[in-house]
Structure 1
């Protein structure tokens, strides 16, 4: 998918999980943002970053329906190509996410189009809805190239709290995987 930009355009990137607290790319602005039509969900079996194929962890995906509070990063035009390349390497390691340009509302009310990664429900790593017990088990034992799965859940939860966003599942899960 080509990212639709002109040389003078800024790239916006929407983060809803680890991108919020560990973007990994340079940006010139960071704002709280909302994405409508998708919600944050622990619905992806992680085979790379927080687990392995033999011992998968669970990571977040944007799944259909609802809304998602997150962060929008504005990337300078001269950094756009490198940022998209970096994000594709990071987010598309197993092609479980679909790259999309989606309408996002910034906290200041401005509406922008942002690059976002939504879960591919047809992908074998799509976990869908799991029981709380299954979720706890997968998160507890998950560990991949980016670290332990409980640390990922905890860091995302703590970042959301800092933004004033309540996520009951991540809150409950953070306590259960200690």
Structure 2
């Protein structure tokens, strides 16, 4: 790779955090600014079916979310943590194909700046990492749903990649490990409600 060529770096904020792409040569945890992470995207192919789609996360620009979310009870000062993966340049085309297929259900490539703290000072760690975002004009985008109904949908849904609630639990655990001091109130509220449903079911057995 010549000095003028940029490395292929992908930012993961959902399942890529705990199930990274192949051929990773560097891993940089960091966070985004100006976005919220919401379970606002239908999943027909991984955590649900075409008849009963599950729910997975997408990124939305904060101002866009304000415009169509109604009364979102969750604060915008929550931080979207994730991981920027640098891909071995020898395998860039194969990894791009793999990710395009994996994220085919309504996701579009955008570029984002990934931030972090160095010696207590905020700075951009990665400029313009590629990121798969479910924009609000794609057919799989749902927008805001009441937390209770959303949690029940996640709790009940199952797809080829397994139960939808496992996706939620893995993501919550991964975010806590990435940034124990951070808080994602939307994510953790859904996790708490699904675990309540687990306990109710166990209590009835």
Q: Do these two structures clear the TM 0.5 threshold for a shared fold by scoring above it?
A: yes
* Displacement after TM superposition at 1:150 (Å): 0.4
Larger-Rg structure: 2
**Deviations for 1:28-67, whole angstroms, at most 9, x for unmatched residues?**
1111112223221100011111001211111000111165
* Closer, same or farther: CA 78–7 of 1 in aligned 2, 3 Å: farther
- Equivalent residues in 2 for 1:90-101, closer than 5 Å: 90-92=102-104, 94=105, 96-101=106-111
Which stretch of structure 1 is more off in the superposition, 117-126 or 50-59?
117-126
* Closer, same or farther: CA 147–107 of 1 in aligned 2, 3 Å: farther
Residue 45 of structure 2 corresponds to 48
The answer to whether 1:143 aligns with 2:140 is no
Higher-strand-fraction structure: 1
Residue 122 of structure 1 corresponds to 137
CA distance in 2, matches of 1:104, 1:78: 24
Aligned length: 172
SS of 2:143 mapped into structure 1: coil
The answer to whether 1:105 aligns with 2:115 is yes
Verify the 8 A CA contact 2:42 2:54 in the aligned structure 1: yes
* Displacement after TM superposition at 1:103 (Å): 2.3
TM-score when normalising by structure 1: 0.88
Task: Give me the CA root mean square deviation.
Answer: 2.0
CA distance in 1, matches of 2:3, 2:168: 36
TM-score when normalising by structure 2: 0.77
Q: Which runs of 5+ in 2 are unaligned?
A: 63-75, 199-205
Verify the 8 A CA contact 1:9 1:77 in the aligned structure 2: no
- Alignment counterpart, residue 90 of structure 2, candidates 78, 81, 84: 78
Tell me which stretches of 4 or more aligned residues in structure 1 moved more than 3 Å: 5-9, 106-109
CA distance in 2, matches of 1:31, 1:85: 22
CA distance in 1, matches of 2:38, 2:56: 8
CA distance in 1, matches of 2:177, 2:36: 19
* Displacement after TM superposition at 1:114 (Å): 0.6
- Alignment counterpart, residue 155 of structure 1, candidates 170, 179, 186: 170
CA distance in 2, matches of 1:133, 1:160: 22
**Deviations for 1:97-151, whole angstroms, at most 9, x for unmatched residues?**
1111222225554342211011121122211010012101210111111111000
